[in-house]
Amino acid sequence: MAHRHALAALAAFATAGLVLTAVPASADGGRRPAKTLGELAAAKDRYFGAATDVVGLADAEYARQLAHEFNSTTAGNELKWYATEPQQGVFDFTLGDQVVHFARKNNMVFRGHTLMWHNQLPDWLTNGAWTADQLRAILKNHITQEVRHYRGKAYSWDVVNEPFNEDGTYRDTIFYRILGPGYIADAFRWAHEADPHAKLYLNDYNVEYIGPKSDAYHALVKSLKAEGVPIHGMGFQGHLALQYGYPTTLQENLQRFADLGVDVAITELDIRMLLPATDDKLATQAKWYADVTKACLAVRRCVGITLWGHTDKYSWIPAFFPGEGAALPYDENLNPKPAYYAIRDALSQ
């Protein structure tokens, strides 16, 4: 029997029309259309989504494909601090609202990303000489205003993004330097006060396998839970690269976090390669996409998967990793690649 965990968590969105539904039989008794990735995931009580930016939504074919194929989305950049509070105490949710409107119009679950991150901060924040009390007040106001604005519209939030180094030590950020590690628990408490129904996540990359970084998160989640901090999930970004090998302990790692009593999710999945792409590389990529999907399906509390974009046309990879790319299941012409069909097969099993 398929578990009901993920759909139960999403039930609060039913009144807004944000429910996961399978494709109905055709009214005329004709041949049923092929189910989408979102529909196949919904049949497993999960979501399968793709992040987007507003610039992509201006592309009509891209937007149509995103709305048709996926049942979840998140804003890639529009809800980051530089965009939402460009001046101290002056909030601008114009761009974020466009993505949320798109999600709601198309009955897609919306994940909020991200309330706190050391990158893409406004200059007024990074250049300020703040006392601990001042920065704590700034943080509380930012989190409260943003989460309240999207209260009832965001299923979940990546509350704190990437607070650890690769060796499991705390990253030297403005937040850690001035406030110490307690800022993380405070951020979760403030977010929960602003929207008690939203699921609240930690989120990071290179935590797919068991090692020092994921061990640090495991210890942190366990500690936060013991302290009664409202943390509900751990996000595994999934920015993978063929040249570095597949994280073979992914399923085991997802499970050990789930065993702590939190949901887990793949939050920013893409699988890049050294260019040019070849048939062999695309075949390996397809297998990896299938394996990640199967790992999520094998863990009861893995609630869903989000691609970091769905088409190479708008992928962030080439700009940040010169000589690499072809990371997503659709190519630059919005055509499905072997990875797309591998995901379909994995969701259909």
Closest CA to 114 of 218, 193, 229, 191: 191
78 belongs to the catalytic site = no
List 69, 268, 324, 332, catalytic entry = 268
**Which one-letter amino acid corresponds to residue 120?**
Q
Q: Cβ distance 71 to 39 under 8 Å? A: yes
Q: Which residue has the tokens 């769905």?
A: 310
**What is the CB neighbour count within 10 angstroms for residue 249?**
16
List 162, 193, 208, 332, catalytic entry = 162
Closest CA to 108 of 61, 52, 146: 52
> How is 112-128 classified by DSSP, letter by letter?
EEEEE-SSS--HHHHT-
Q: At what angle do helices 212-226 and 250-258 cross, to 10 degrees?
A: 10
162 belongs to the catalytic site = yes
CA separation for the pair 231, 234 (Å, rounded): 8
Q: Cβ distance 235 to 203 under 8 Å? A: yes
Q: What amino acid positions are annotated as catalytic residues? A: 162, 268
